[in-house]
C-alpha cells in the first residue's frame, strides 16, 4: 500500500494513477485500520535515497565513466 500511494501521489491525473489508486484500495481493504494508519505514516515520513557519484575503474584505466550509487 505504501508504494502504491507514493506512486499515486507523484503521478498526474489519468489512467495510470487511477490504476495505482485501485491497487492501493485493494490492499487497504485487506488490512486492519491500524495497519492502514501505519502505512500512511510510513508514506508521510518516507524520504528518497541520496544520490552520490563514484568513479569506478580498472587499475590500468586512466579514466572511466561515472556510475550512480544509491544508499
For the chain, how many structural domains are there in total?
Answer: 1
d(CA 6, CA 33): 19
Q: Is 4 exposed, middle or buried (0-12, 13-18, 19+ CB in 10 A)?
A: buried
Residue of higher predicted confidence among 17 and 69: 17
- Considering only residues 56 and 6, tell me which one the structure prediction assigns the higher pLDDT: 6
Give strand pairing partners of 53: 68
Comparing 65 with 8, the larger pLDDT belongs to: 8
pLDDT, average across residues 46-70: 62
Mean pLDDT of 10-17: 87
Domain residue limits at 35: 2-70
Q: Is the pLDDT reported for residue 51 higher than 70? A: no
Q: How far apart are CA 12 and CA 32, in angstroms?
A: 29
Question: Three-state DSSP class for 2?
Answer: helix
Q: What is the pLDDT of residues 19-39, one digit of tens each?
A: 988 998 998 999 999 999 999
Amino acid at each position: 500500500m505504501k508504494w502504491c500511494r507514493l506512486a499515486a501521489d507523484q503521478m498526474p491525473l489519468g489512467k495510470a494513477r487511477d490504476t495505482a489508486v485501485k491497487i492501493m484500495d485493494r490492499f487497504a481493504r485487506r488490512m486492519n485500520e491500524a495497519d492502514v494508519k501505519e502505512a500512511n505514516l510510513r508514506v508521510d515520513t518516507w524520504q528518497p535515497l541520496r544520490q552520490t557519484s563514484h568513479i569506478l575503474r580498472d587499475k590500468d584505466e586512466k579514466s572511466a565513466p561515472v556510475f550512480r550509487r544509491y544508499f
